[in-house]
């Protein structure tokens, strides 16, 4: 049976809510593992048939813990996961495009296949207080994450990718 891995990092809860929504919807379609980036490694990538990556944009880049996950895993799995499907979600205060670009570039290096357009959820956090506060992702945007997860799960279980 095909398996989906959802890897996320989150400091103030936004990306975690997005990843949980996607993983729960995917689980209804195919076995799905949800892992925090700090706890995920090469073996988790090798054990899965497809991936969803979800992280905040920090300082115009992928949040460091997520980048560390990619750094730790890049060479151990290089050439061993080629062609597998992936999608990504970014939680951002105002932009998110650079984090999206970086993840897409890493995935391209691994020769993963992007099977759904990236989702960027903007929390509109501007001030330091807003930025450091716990986030609540609105239902409308969680629904987009659920749709992405369900489509990944269904596509994997039906062998569409």
First to last CA, the chain: 14
Of the candidate residues 2, 3, 13, 114, the single one contacting ligand FMN (CB under 6 A): 13
Q: Which of 55, 76, 52 is nearest to 147 (CA)?
A: 52
Q: Give the nearest distance from C-beta 8 to ligand FMN in angstroms.
A: 8
Of the candidate residues 135, 148, 151, 153, the single one contacting ligand FMN (CB under 6 A): 135
**Binding-site size, ligand FMN (CB under 6 A):** 21
CA angle 136, 140, 144 (to 5 degrees): 105
Q: Give the nearest distance from C-beta 70 to ligand FMN in angstroms.
A: 17
- For residue 161, the surrounding DSSP H or E stretch is none
Mapped onto helix, strand or coil, the DSSP state of residue 78 is coil
Give the residues lining the site for ligand FMN (CB under 6 A): 10-15, 56-60, 91-96, 123, 125, 131, 135
């Amino acid at each position: 049976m095909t398996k989906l891995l959802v890897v996320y990092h989150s400091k103030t809860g936004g990306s975690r809510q997005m990843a949980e929504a996607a993983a729960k919807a995917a689980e209804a379609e195919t076995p799905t593992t949800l892992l925090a980036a700090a706890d995920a490694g090469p073996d988790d990538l090798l054990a899965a048939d497809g991936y969803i990556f979800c992280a905040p944009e920090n300082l115009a880049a992928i949040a460091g813990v997520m980048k560390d996950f990619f750094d730790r895993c890049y060479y151990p799995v290089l050439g061993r996961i080629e062609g597998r499907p992936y999608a990504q979600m970014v939680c951002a205060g105002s932009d998110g495009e650079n984090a999206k670009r970086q993840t897409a570039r890493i995935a391209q290096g691994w020769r993963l296949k992007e099977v759904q357009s990236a989702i960027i959820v903007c929390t509109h956090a501007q001030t330091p207080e807003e930025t450091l506060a716990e986030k609540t992702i609105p239902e409308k945007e969680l629904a987009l994450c659920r749709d992405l997860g369900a489509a990944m799960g269904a596509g994997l279980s039906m062998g569409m990718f």
